[in-house]
Amino acid sequence: MDDTIKNKDGFIIDMDGVLYHGNNLLDGALEFIDWLQNNNKKYLFLTNSSERSPRELSQKLARMGIVVGDEHFYTSAIATALFLASQSPRCTAYVIGEPGLINALYEVGITMNDVSPKYVIIGETRSYSFEKIEKAVQLVQRGAKLIGTNPDRTGPTEKGIMPATGALAVPIEIATGKKAYYIGKPNPLMMRHALKKLGTDVKNTIIIGDRMDTDIVAGIESEIDTILVLSGVTNHQNIQNFSYRPKYIYDNIGEVIKKSKI
C-alpha cells in the first residue's frame, strides 16, 4: 500500500461496484474492511443509492460476512432528507423511490402528498411506471420542485449495468423542461456531511469509488485524495472520456491491500 494511503486517518468508501455487485461480494472487500478495523481507521460507507436505510445496508454487509455498525453508513436518501428539512421544514413531497428514501424523509418530518406537494423526489426504485412519471410531470408543471437523490444514470448489479436515478428522472425533466437538483455525489453538500460525520479533514481523508463522474470528481472538487477501482462502471477504456484523473487506480479494492507492505 502506498504510504500516503496507509497514513490517512479517514476513508470514504462507495459501496455498489466497490464492495459488491448486487448481492455478490467483490474480491478483497472483506480483507480491506478488516484492515481498516485492525488499524483503527475512521471509515464511512458513502453511497448514492437511496433504496436502503443504514440498518438495512449494515444487515446486507453482515450477510456477506462484513460486520459493521449502522453509524458507518451515510446515504443520498439521508442527505436529501436533511437538505429538504433545512430548506423547507415539515414540507410535503411526492416520492418515486423505495423505503430507504421514504423513511429518511419521515424521520425529519417530511410527509407524503400526491395532490399538492412542494417537492417531487426521485430515487432508485423497482416500481417505476408510466403512471408515476405522469403524476410527477403533472405535479412539477403545477409548481412542485424536482429533486433527485443522486445523478447516477447507471449502476452496477450482478446482472450488469442497470438504470439509476439520473436515468429515471430524465423523462420528467424532458416533459417539464425543469432540471432536477441532485443531492448525492458529487454535490459538495454530500461531501461536507460525510467529512463532518467522519470527523476528519480533507488532508487526512481519501475517497474510494468506481465512478469518475460522481466519486472521483467529488473527491477532486473537495480536495480529497481519490482511489478509482475498476470493479464497477469505469474501465480502462471509458476513463479516457474524462478530463480529470484519480490519484490512484486499482483493479479492485483488494489490490489496495495486495500492494501493501504491511
Active-site residue, 14 included: yes
- What kind and span of H or E run contains 226? strand 225-229
Catalytic position from the list 3, 14, 34, 225:
14
Cα separations in angstroms, 144 against 37, 140, 172, 251, 257:
45, 4, 12, 43, 48
Residue 13 near residue 42 (C-beta atoms within 8 A): no
Q: What is the DSSP string of 100-136?
A: HHHHHHHHTT-EE-SSS-SEEEE---S---HHHHHHH
Q: How far apart are CA 257 and CA 247, in angstroms?
A: 17
Residue 155 near residue 109 (C-beta atoms within 8 A): no
Active-site residue, 16 included: yes
Catalytic position from the list 2, 16, 70, 215:
16
Q: Is 125 exposed, middle or buried (0-12, 13-18, 19+ CB in 10 A)?
A: middle
Strands 119-122 and 92-96: parallel
Strands 145-148 and 10-13: unpaired
Cα separations in angstroms, 94 against 36, 133, 136:
39, 11, 7
Q: How far apart are CA 30 and CA 64, in angstroms?
A: 9
Residue 26 near residue 18 (C-beta atoms within 8 A): yes
Which residues are known to be catalytic?
Answer: 14, 16
